[in-house]
């Protein structure tokens, strides 16, 4: 038997995102932030085991660009092929509380 609970219930909001072609923020998208979930598995022999996991953030484009006239499908295709901007990704990870500097000590 499994139970699934959600902490930090996701809030869906409509955001204006940057168009990959003209770089203006005129494309509307639905944004769902990452959510912390708990999954509990119960059995008579092993007892209850709890796993914590975080869902991925979701971005769903709902309109085309009103500035350059590109369609919704063209924007979705360009966003899928787009390379990740590392500076923006590091800022997002810092906001979410992840460590951004990983050090290892090597002993000889």
pLDDT tens per residue, range 24-64:
888 899 988 888 888 888 888 878 888 888 888 888 899 88
- In-domain check, residue 108: no
Confidence (pLDDT) at 23? 81
- In-domain check, residue 105: no
CA dihedral 42, 43, 48, 52 (to 10 degrees): -50
Tally the domains of the chain. 1
Confidence band for 79, pLDDT divided at 50, 70 and 90? confident
- In-domain check, residue 106: no
Confidence (pLDDT) at 84? 60
Q: What range defines the domain where residue 78 resides?
A: 2-96
Confidence (pLDDT) at 45? 80
Give first-to-last CA distance, the chain, whole Å.
50
- In-domain check, residue 102: no
Q: Provide the whole-model pTM.
A: 0.54
- In-domain check, residue 103: no
- In-domain check, residue 59: yes
């Amino acid at each position: 038997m499994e139970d699934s609970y959600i902490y930090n219930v996701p809030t869906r909001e409509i955001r204006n995102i940057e168009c990959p072609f003209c770089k203006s923020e005129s494309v509307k998208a639905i944004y769902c932030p990452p959510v912390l979930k708990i999954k509990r598995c119960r059995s008579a022999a092993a007892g209850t085991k709890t796993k914590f996991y975080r869902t991925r953030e979701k971005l769903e484009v709902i309109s085309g660009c009103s500035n350059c006239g590109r369609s919704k499908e063209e924007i979705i295709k360009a966003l899928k092929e787009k390379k990740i901007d590392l500076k923006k990704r590091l800022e997002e990870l810092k906001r979410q509380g992840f460590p951004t500097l990983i050090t290892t000590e090597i002993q000889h």
